[in-house]
Amino acid sequence: MTLREFLRVVWASKWFVLGAVVLVVGAGYVYADRQEITYQATATVELASSGSAGAEGTAAVTANPDPTVVVGPEVEQAAAEALDVPVSTLHGAEVEPLYDAATMTMTITATSTSAEFAADAANAYATAYVAQLPAVIDEQVAALDEQISALSSQIIAARDTLKARPNDPEATALQSTGEESLNVLTAQKTAYQTLVEPGQVTATAVADPVGLGRLSVLGIALLTGLAAGVGIAFVRRGLDTRVRTVEQAAEAADAPILAEVTGLRASLKTFAQTEVLPVASLAATPFTESVRELRTAVQVSLPRRDHAVVVVTAADPSAPRSFVAANLAVSWALSGRRTIVLSGDLRRPQIDELLPAPPTWEGTGRGLRPTTITNLELFPVPDQPLDSADYLATTAASDLVEALRAEADIVVVDAPPVLAAADATILGGYADGTVLLAAAGRTDRGVLGRAVDRLRTNDVALAGVALVGVASNHRDTYASTYGEEGDVRTPVTDVAGPDAGTDAERDVDTDPAASADVPAEPRHRTDAAAGPATEPDPRPRTADGSPAPAAEASLATVQIPRLALPDTGFPRRVDVIDPRPGGFRPVLVAQVGAPAPRPAAPADQTADPAPDDAPEQPEAGTAPDRETSGAGIAFFHRPAEPGIGAPKRATP
């Protein structure tokens, strides 16, 4: 697991981590506040040693190191008198002596709830113990005198026996051992008598708190809370069966992942405020770029590139299916494809409200109707008495899909969730590809797997899975805003008009959204069922209201730009933008490579026939890339989207 994945798991359970930290730190604070602080003070007494040479060697002695002497009544009484407190008060301080034979030191430790009293008690006990050592040595010398006297009597008795029986072995042994022991005892006595200072205090006591202080307790509580919170986060992750990553979605569905749709929450919020679909606003956001990525992936996965039907459904109701389907359809429409949206959710239709009709449209609301987006029409939910699944299984429903397929370059069907009803599987049978949406952090992995199994069981062509609601990061933001400065938005120069004698350099301001999808020229049609559905003609008008010729209208706005566009080997579009006040709007979409229009030959003149070996001149809009010109309009170019037909050619 990488650090990023670790932080992502912790962040997903941030409230649990925060709760664990607050709980443990709070408990630590209460414990530290109620804890009675105790102090320890340790004094050190170094015992002196002395040695004297005897018949058996040198004898080294020290004062009696028995720790019980330190807490004996004599030392305790002397310490109480030094502190001027009753002996019973000293009992409140726990005194613990400890002798180290290697260093011949006696440590005296006093413990009390008062730092000052603990230090005073330890020092008092140490001083009283040192003062008591001469008396202890006197006791030891007295004990040696008794042993010497007893050995002397034993030796005298053995000698008397040997006088009477010189060869008595027992008397000989008693005399020999007695004399050796007597020499040792005599040497020890002499050594004790030479101890002038049997001990001294080498380190006075300083009180220190025992255990952990308040800050230490709170620090340990903080670390413990973090550890507990992280543990809870990983336990939740282990028990969590929801889809959160692309890897989990791919494993659960056993299908390709078409795209990660990021920035969903911000886009839904923006749509609620503006009532404009994010892709239709031409704004560069992580969400709009994700939709374009999804569009491209679907195009590549389709078995046919023209007159295709795509069903957008979801594994469960948690995914914003209609919102994604509407933006996906808008993206196709803005890329120059005539797109029709079929509202296939007959139970809870939502896409009708997301794609409203133009304000000037006065249709009946039945059958195919236009929307506010160029190249995009909507077929709303039909009125029928049957159950939705029963109706969709009829020949009328399949004929409707085929009729819409014939009318459009792409048909997007908004279908209900797969496991909610049989509608999605029925509609998927009419489609060339089905896009299955899963909501990150909400869709269960088991539900996603069952949805895919149901589609495959019914022989539905599954294009792939799109994981929506993935949190965007700085890389998504960078990708969506890449190219906002420079690139295709560079002002056009080398502009000449029909009335200009020489070429004039002129800057032409462009729309900031010019690099996004720009609508193509609308296709005008009339639907027999819904009534006239002709979209507004964006071309300039003459005084009598009729559309003005392109050259005539353009001469009143801006001069003619010329662009030399190299032959790149693939189709491209030129987005023609009207730069007049009131905002930039598309007025024409032409195929790159259309030659500059030639003046018409007079009626009484006949055009010179082309030589036999001359190359065939292509039609306008289909010729290879070459110098392109127009009148009164600014030309900008970008690669066309792959798949689903070539861009529409404009009428000269």
Instruction: Give 490-540 pLDDT, tens digit per residue.
Output: 333 333 333 333 333 333 333 333 333 333 333 333 333 333 333 444 444
Highest mean pLDDT among 6-10, 283-287, 410-414, 641-645: 410-414
Give me the pLDDT at residue 404, please.
Answer: 93
The number of angstroms, rounded, from the C-alpha of 594 to the middle of its chain's C-alpha atoms is 50
Alpha helices in 443-525 (DSSP H): 445-457, 474-481
Average pLDDT of span 40-61 = 72
What is the 3-class SS of 547-609, one letter each residue?
ECCHHHHHCCCCCCEEEECCCCCCCEEEEEEECCCCCCEEEEEEECCCCCCCCCCCCCCCCCC
| More confident call, 382 vs 479 | 382
Residues 6+ apart with CB under 8 A from 628: 562, 563, 565, 574, 590, 592, 593, 594, 595, 596, 635
Give me the pLDDT at residue 89, please.
Answer: 79
Q: What is the share, in percent, of the chain residues with pLDDT greater than 70?
A: 70
CB–CB of 39/210 below 8 Å? yes
Is residue 124 within a helix (H) or strand (E), and if so which, with residue range? Answer: helix 115-164
Give me the pLDDT at residue 623, please.
Answer: 37
| More confident call, 394 vs 240 | 394
Residue that the structure tokens 């949206």 belong to: 341
* Coil, helix or strand at residue 87: helix
Average pLDDT of span 336-361 = 90
Average pLDDT of span 269-284 = 90
For the record, the structure tokens of 408 come out as 């459009």
Average pLDDT of span 299-303 = 88
Give me the pLDDT at residue 387, please.
Answer: 86
CA dihedral 625, 631, 633, 638 (to 10 degrees): 0
Average pLDDT of span 311-326 = 92
Average pLDDT of span 445-458 = 93
Distance separating alpha carbons of residues 518 and 575, to the nearest angstrom:
7
β 257-262/49-54 pair status? unpaired
Residue 649 pLDDT > 70, yes or no?
no
How many beta carbons lie within 10 A of that of residue 56, not counting itself? 11
Distance separating alpha carbons of residues 110 and 90, to the nearest angstrom:
10
Instruction: Give 173-212 pLDDT, tens digit per residue.
Output: 887 887 888 888 888 788 777 777 888 888 888 888 887 7
| More confident call, 461 vs 598 | 461
Distance separating alpha carbons of residues 127 and 44, to the nearest angstrom:
10
Residue that the structure tokens 């195919």 belong to: 368
Range in 306-310, 375-379, 387-391, 643-647 the model is least confident about: 643-647
Give me the pLDDT at residue 325, please.
Answer: 94
Give me the pLDDT at residue 475, please.
Answer: 55
pTM of full prediction above 0.75: no
Average confidence score pLDDT of the chain: 74
